[in-house]
Amino acid sequence: MSLSRRKFLKGLATTSAVSVIGPSLLVQAANAATEATTNTADGIWKVSGSHWGAFRARIYNGKVQEIKALEIDKYPTDMLKGIKGIIYSPSRVRYPMVRLDWLKKHKYSGETRGNNRFIRVTWDEALDLFYQELERVQKDYGPWALHAGMTGWRQTGQFHSCTSHMQRAVGMHGNFMTKVGDYSTGAGQTVLPYVLGSTEVYAQATSWPEILSNSKTIVLWANDPFKNTQVGWQAETHGSYEYYEQLKEKVAKGEIKVISIDPVKSKTQNYLNCDQVYVNPQTDVAFMLAIAHTLYKEDLYDKKFLETYALGFDDFLPYVLGKAKDNIEKTPEWAEKICGVKADQTRELARLMAKDRTQIMFGWSIQRQQHGEQPYWMGAVIAAMLGQIGLPGGGVSYSHHYSGVGIPPTGAAGPGGFPRNVDEGQKPKWDNDDFNGYSKTIPVARWLDAILEPGKEIKYNGSKVILPDTKMLVVSGCNPWHHHQDRNRMKKAFQKLQTVVTIEFAWTATCRFSDIVLPACTQFERNDIDLYGAYSASGILAMHKLVDPLYQSKTDFDIFTELAQRFDRQKEYTRGMSEMEWVRMLYADCKKANKANFPMPEFEQFWADGIVEFGPGKPFIQHAGFREDPEINPLGTPSGFIEIFSRKIDRYGYEHCQGHPMWFEKSERSHGGPHSDKFPLWLQSCHPDQRLHSQMCESDEYRATYTVQGREPVYISPEDAKARGIKDGDLVRVFNDRGQLLAGAKVSDNYPIGVIRIHEGAWYGPLNEKIGAIDTYGDPNTVTQDIGSSELAQATSANTVIVEIEKFKGEVPPVTAFGGPIFES
Ligand code: PGD
Ligand code: PGD
Ligand code: 6MO
């Protein structure tokens, strides 16, 4: 196998005239050696992978000098240029650090938390303190007082997946509060199981070849896949871009019509040169109801499909016709006043979708808003009315912009990972599961409420949650001072916490607001193994250590081995195995699982080659089985059918998520919505084109390619800029009643009046720790709103936020976000 594979790679290397799909985004795949580790005159080349792409790195003089895309990645991203800057960032956490005031002055008082004054301690001192704090909290309070349940975009690699290491080790010491759901798809993954029977957001969707040969219309609803498939949850190889290229050709030839329903001209729209339907932000449900109204009134809906595959259309219809609930008929004219889409255009779109094969593809941003459950539910209703669910190139999907979804899947098994939990039969040192009446698990985005309002009872997904009185936080593999909303509210909450421990390699704002910071190394300083292609399971990649851990950093595995040693659980934690023994075992288990269908070489061969490819996948059509026979292949909903009306949700009796999808006004909204007279601009905090959240923001040189006067860009329409006397390149202040931030104006025709954008993940750099202090770099979460989507999902509502913007006047403060802590000794 390996010989033929090598030949194949050599062939690629000599004919590497790969297609390039946009000079600003993609760099040409590199000619490179074909072995995982190759010695050349100017250094050693090693194979590895990352969220940003699989690559080869040249190491010379003990330093990573160069990164080139791996040959299998034909559409590498520009972000590969930022990787070196992560390793050698001036913002690296170099040593174990402890907050000065916490250590020396008033321990457990958070008054000055965030002042960034730290002192260096030894590893032993830091780990002793960490251990003592775990002991104290379990002894004085109980498991409810410890929150170690947060997760996030840990770097790639199945063995070193760092949150698993933290949770296994801390879990061997004692129990802790944990979370359900995530920030990405909280509202969607909660409502869709009631409607379509699975989360859908983390499900395989119809393969692109099927779509390209069957769809006549593709509706990208709040979806920018060309931007967002640049990064993946596992080692990314950008297989989807081949299909985007084909789609672009078909759009140019008029064979497929693509419509982007988005207030902004997205990167995908610009790339495909496709149509756009502009919709006022946060108003899509009104628009969708009007589409449903047209489909019904013009008899364009599929009655037979509804009868055979769906339940509850009759319960929903009176609402559309104005005969129930608010008694307003959801005509296109009614919707126009809310969503800004002309009534005739709504009718045209409805007719177009009903005319021929139509695939609706949702992005996720639209459900990270107040009542974010509604657009997804309503999207499923429209798709059911169109009657194409289960057909190739028809129906609705919620994941086509994510991690290899849509690339024909091979069905091969990927390697397993390091266990997150304690092993069966093992007990934690503090074997106490008494949560004192508090809930053990809370909806992910409500952890700050728990600190601020302990004991509060909230409604959640048909049950009640009692928020635990959090005293201590342990953070690894996520960055809450990026991912959570409303920084000033966070500051208030963090003043109440007793102890915050963060394990990190980058001195993020989360480190700044911690008490103990332990320096982890990056993924480039350890050996690992990963699946590549994610949902397509295209193959397995070796992740070779490029350089030894820098400064005093250690792998998370080593850090938690040493912590576990302090309560005599070292052996249980490691199972007596080293890093490479684990990597070998994960490979061996995977080889065994794939034995019948995907023969894999011995480990040594794999490690030397750097890659195992599983070959091309097979086409997949979402919900085809259900369409073929809904009795034999029912959906996972209570009835087994598509639930346009959910009795279960209806019975919960919630105000903002009732028995069928509905339009609800938002707490704040631009374009004539609530409070828009005071703050007229909608701030969207979409996912960055040149980062993964906050990761790579620390890559100084790469950051300098997009910043404006050293600040995060805020994109604004020419009209809004002109009205405020703002020019491209100006320093501006973005503000509302919750906070204020500095950013650099980028005036762009892609934005309509009333809409501005700052990409999420811009590092928070407050002028000081005081509540209200200006953020000097441009983190949008300085001004976002921290409320739950509804009683159903309680998910983040990051996109329900309005602001004002002005040219910055006065003395310009320096950017405080980068470069690490203030050393006191
Ligand atoms: P990252 O920046 O990826 O963000 O939030 P998340 O917290 O996942 O943070 C990962 C952190 O883990 C980084 O600081 C990185 O250095 C660290 N890390 C990575 N690998 C390792 C490792 O191996 N060891 C250790 N010790 N540390 C490591 C993402 C979240 O943000 C998500 S998924 C979404 S969808 C949300 N999106 C938005 C949004 O659209 N708008 C706003 N306003 N806010 C959002 N927040 C959410
Ligand atoms: P966004 O870019 O935030 O992406 O994927 P998600 O789909 O959430 O938003 C997509 C589009 O939605 C934008 O064009 C925006 O204008 C539009 N939109 C927002 N609100 C509305 C609305 O109310 N109505 C309509 N019609 N459109 C709206 C995020 C996904 O991306 C996630 S969760 C993660 S964790 C990954 N993160 C990254 C990343 O950080 N960087 C990159 N490059 N890629 C990623 N991919 C993943
Ligand atoms: Mo996400």
Mean per-residue pLDDT, 772-784: 98
Same domain, 212 and 336: yes
Return d(Cα 94, Cα 518) in angstroms, integer.
Answer: 9
Residue nearest to atom 31 of ligand 2 (CA): 228
Strand partners for 68: 56
567: in domain:
yes
Residue 483 alpha carbon to ligand 1 centre in Å: 6
Q: What is the pLDDT of residue 24?
A: 33
H or E stretch at 260: strand 257-261
721 touches ligand 2 (CB under 6 Å): no
Share of the chain above pLDDT 90, in %: 94
Which ligand 2 atom sits closest to the C-alpha of 79?
Answer: 43
- What is the gyration radius of the CA atoms in the chain, in angstroms? 26
Which residue of 227, 285, 365 sits with most ligand 2 atoms within 8 Å of its CB, as the best mutation to test the pocket? Answer: 365
58: in domain:
no
Return d(Cα 655, Cα 662) in angstroms, integer.
Answer: 11
Q: What is the pLDDT of residue 825?
A: 63
Among left, alpha and beta (phi > 0; psi -120 to 50; other), residue 61 is left
Which ligand 1 atom sits closest to the C-alpha of 504?
Answer: 26
Same domain, 418 and 500: yes
Same domain, 638 and 685: no
266 touches ligand 2 (CB under 6 Å): yes
Which ligand 1 atom sits closest to the C-alpha of 801?
Answer: 43
Return d(Cα 512, Cα 491) in angstroms, integer.
Answer: 11
**pLDDT tens sequence across 161-198:** 999 999 999 999 999 999 999 999 999 999 999 999 99
364 touches ligand 2 (CB under 6 Å): yes
544: in domain:
no
47 touches ligand 1 (CB under 6 Å): no
Query: For 696, which DSSP code?
Result: T
703: pLDDT strictly greater than 60: yes
Same domain, 633 and 497: no
Same domain, 323 and 260: yes
Verdict on whether the full-model pTM lies above 0.90: yes
Residues of 802-811 as b/e, b for ≥16 C-beta within 10 angstroms? bbbbeebeee
**Tokens linked to 299:** 């008899």
818 touches ligand 1 (CB under 6 Å): no
156 touches ligand 1 (CB under 6 Å): no
- From 85, 70, 80, select the one nearest 33 (Cα to Cα): 70
Q: How many CB atoms lie within 10 A of CB 652?
A: 17
692 touches ligand 1 (CB under 6 Å): yes
Which ligand 1 atom sits closest to the C-alpha of 686?
Answer: 40
**pLDDT tens sequence across 621-672:** 999 999 999 999 999 999 999 999 999 999 999 999 999 999 999 999 999 9
**Domains in the chain, number:** 3
Same domain, 249 and 391: yes
Residue 479 alpha carbon to ligand 1 centre in Å: 5
**Which bound ligand lies closest to the C-alpha atom of 478?**
1
Q: Position of tokens 């007229």?
A: 680
Residue 478 alpha carbon to ligand 1 centre in Å: 4
Residue 517 Cα distances to 93, 108, 127, 278, 520, angstroms? 8, 16, 10, 46, 9
222 touches ligand 2 (CB under 6 Å): yes
β-strand 740-747 against 731-735: which pairing, if any?
antiparallel
H or E stretch at 540: strand 539-543
H or E stretch at 69: strand 63-69
- Report the interhelical angle of 343-355 vs 373-386 (nearest 10°): 50
277 touches ligand 2 (CB under 6 Å): no
386: pLDDT strictly greater than 50: yes
Does the predicted interface ipTM exceed a cut of 0.95? yes
211: in domain:
yes
**pLDDT tens sequence across 716-749:** 999 999 999 999 999 999 999 999 999 999 999 9
Indicate the residue among 637, 652, 667 that finishes a domain: 652
**Tokens linked to 401:** 């912009």
Residue 686 alpha carbon to ligand 2 centre in Å: 5
Mean per-residue pLDDT, 681-709: 98
Residue nearest to atom 32 of ligand 2 (CA): 184
Mean per-residue pLDDT, 454-459: 98
Strand partners for 177: 147
Residue 64 alpha carbon to ligand 2 centre in Å: 32
**Tokens linked to 461:** 């997904």
CATH number of domain containing 427: 3.40.50.740
Which ligand 2 atom sits closest to the C-alpha of 693?
Answer: 40
Residue 369 alpha carbon to ligand 3 centre in Å: 14
Query: For 392, which DSSP code?
Result: T
798 touches ligand 1 (CB under 6 Å): yes
Which ligand 2 atom sits closest to the C-alpha of 231?
Answer: 44
Same domain, 426 and 281: no
Q: What are the backbone dihedrals phi and psi of residue 611, each rounded to the nearest 5 degrees, phi first? A: -160, 145
CATH number of domain containing 716: 2.40.40.20
**pLDDT tens sequence across 122-132:** 999 999 999 99
Which ligand 2 atom sits closest to the C-alpha of 183?
Answer: 33
Residue nearest to atom 40 of ligand 2 (CA): 692
**pLDDT tens sequence across 151-163:** 999 999 999 999 9
235: in domain:
yes
Residue nearest to atom 46 of ligand 1 (CA): 483
Q: What are the backbone dihedrals phi and psi of residue 57, each rounded to the nearest 5 degrees, phi first? A: -120, 140
> 3-state class of 332 per DSSP?
helix
Q: What is the pLDDT of residue 433?
A: 95
Same domain, 639 and 777: no
**pLDDT tens sequence across 399-426:** 999 999 999 999 999 999 999 999 999 9
Q: What is the pLDDT of residue 36?
A: 75
**Cα angle: 307, vertex 313, 316; to 5 degrees:** 175
Same domain, 176 and 246: no
Residue 118 Cα distances to 125, 132, 378, 431, 552, angstroms? 14, 19, 50, 34, 16
Strand partners for 802: 682
Which residue of 167, 479, 714 sits with most ligand 1 atoms within 8 Å of its CB, as the best mutation to test the pocket? Answer: 479
Residue 35: pLDDT band (50, 70, 90) is low
**Tokens linked to 510:** 């989360």
163 touches ligand 1 (CB under 6 Å): no
Residue 817: pLDDT band (50, 70, 90) is very high
483: in domain:
yes
801 touches ligand 2 (CB under 6 Å): no
Return d(Cα 722, Cα 737) in angstroms, integer.
Answer: 24
499: in domain:
yes
Which ligand 2 atom sits closest to the C-alpha of 232?
Answer: 46
Return d(Cα 275, Cα 266) in angstroms, integer.
Answer: 11
**Which bound ligand lies closest to the C-alpha atom of 224?**
2
Residue 248 Cα distances to 218, 362, 593, 675, angstroms? 12, 19, 38, 40
Same domain, 219 and 368: yes
400 touches ligand 1 (CB under 6 Å): no
- From 45, 57, 124, 31, select the one nearest 523 (Cα to Cα): 57
Amino acid at site 718:
P
763: pLDDT strictly greater than 60: yes
Q: What is the pLDDT of residue 23?
A: 30
Among left, alpha and beta (phi > 0; psi -120 to 50; other), residue 411 is left
Which ligand 1 atom sits closest to the C-alpha of 761?
Answer: 2
Residue 205 alpha carbon to ligand 3 centre in Å: 18
Residue 31: pLDDT band (50, 70, 90) is very low
114 touches ligand 1 (CB under 6 Å): no
183 touches ligand 1 (CB under 6 Å): yes
Residue 160 Cα distances to 71, 96, 548, 559, angstroms? 25, 20, 15, 12
Same domain, 458 and 557: yes
663: in domain:
no
Mean per-residue pLDDT, 546-556: 98
511 touches ligand 2 (CB under 6 Å): no
Mean per-residue pLDDT, 67-77: 97
Residue nearest to atom 5 of ligand 2 (CA): 364
Return d(Cα 501, Cα 514) in angstroms, integer.
Answer: 6
Contact 590, 606 (CB under 8 A): no
Which residue of 279, 665, 687, 784 sits with most ligand 2 atoms within 8 Å of its CB, as the best mutation to test the pocket? Answer: 687
CATH number of domain containing 232: 3.40.228.10
1: pLDDT strictly greater than 50: no
Mean per-residue pLDDT, 806-822: 97
H-state helical runs in 594-656: 603-609, 624-628, 647-652
Same domain, 420 and 316: no
688 touches ligand 2 (CB under 6 Å): yes
Return d(Cα 766, Cα 45) in angstroms, integer.
Answer: 40
Domain span at residue 643 reads 203-401+625-652
